[in-house]
Amino acid sequence: MVLSLDDFLATRILEIAVHSDDLAVSVDVPTPALPVPATDAVLALLTRLAAHRHGPTAVLRAFSRAERAPTTITAI
């Protein structure tokens, strides 16, 4: 499989976001804030992955209606 440069960079930003949170939690410090464009890219990618995995209706409900949301929505 060949990734475009944009897709490759998006996956690296996702890894940085997830692993920086993991590291911060493991040493009991606040998770460092990422720049807004990086956060936007990561949230967009995670949303698309979750919708692919669970369906768009489940993701919509998880984001908007807690009482009708599935028990869990995970992207990875």
Residue 27 has what pLDDT? 97
User: Per the structure block, which two tokens stand in for 19?
Assistant: 């692993």
Residue 34 has what pLDDT? 95
- What would the pLDDT profile of 47-73 be if each residue is shown by its tens digit? 999 999 999 998 998 888 878 777 888
- What would the pLDDT profile of 45-54 be if each residue is shown by its tens digit? 999 999 999 9
- What would the pLDDT profile of 13-35 be if each residue is shown by its tens digit? 999 999 999 999 999 999 999 99
SS3 37: helix
Domain ranges of the chain: 5-68
User: Per the structure block, which two tokens stand in for 70?
Assistant: 């599935």
Residue 36 has what pLDDT? 97
